[in-house]
Amino acid sequence: MSIVVKICGLRTADAVDAAVSHGARYAGFVFYPRSPRYVVPTQASSLMMRLHSDVTPVGLFVNPDDDELAHILRTTPLRVLQLHGDETPQRVADIKNKFALPVIKAVGIAKSSDIEAAQHYESITDILLLDAKAGALPGGNAVVFDWPLLRGVRFAKPWMLAGGLTVDNIAEAAAVTGARILDVSSGVEDAPGDKNPQKIKDFLIKSHAMATSS
């Protein structure tokens, strides 16, 4: 079974090119000003022009209002919205209906009840993103949650695994959780917001090798 990878928090042409060249399926751009990975819409739009048609640009937002989303969608060719705040299921549904784009909803995981909370979004989101519930930022904190919590769990929608993934632990992460979509940010950086193209390459090569051998 194939492994799909999203490289999140892209800010430079070199990082985007590495993601595209080595087979990332999703390219994530952060529109949250408090994040070290934040990009202004014009910068993000320029970077998205480097993507191939088979790489989906994803915009990460934290509790956005409609005006913010509308402005960024006028400026950039985003194809998916990722909601990484404490948006309720109703808010997620409202955004999907208003902007007519697929939505990824991120949910922080620290205990089994958080998985139940994530399942409340299944009826209205297109993809769930399960991330570690820790750190000062909504994501990208290089923190791994307790993967065995996901053993035996089945979701009605596709889901992504995030939180502290690196080239050294993705094989274990996929084996323990059964994840087939991996979302990485800090694990391919030299410092927060500073993507390393070689680390992106290594992560993608490893993920594709895992898929070939599985």
Element (H, E) at 28: strand 26-30
How is the chain split into domains, by residue range?
4-213
What phi, psi does 41 have (nearest 5°)? Answer: -55, -40
131 assigned to active site: yes
- Per CATH, which fold does 4-213 belong to? TIM Barrel (3.20.20)
Active-site option among 131, 146, 183, 194: 131
8 assigned to active site: yes
pLDDT digit of tens for each residue in the chain (214 aa)? 589 999 999 999 999 999 999 999 999 999 999 999 999 999 999 999 999 999 999 999 999 999 999 999 999 999 999 999 999 999 999 999 999 999 999 999 999 999 999 999 999 999 999 998 865 555 555 678 889 999 888 999 999 999 999 999 999 999 999 999 999 999 999 999 999 999 999 999 999 998 665 5
What phi, psi does 67 have (nearest 5°)? Answer: -65, -40
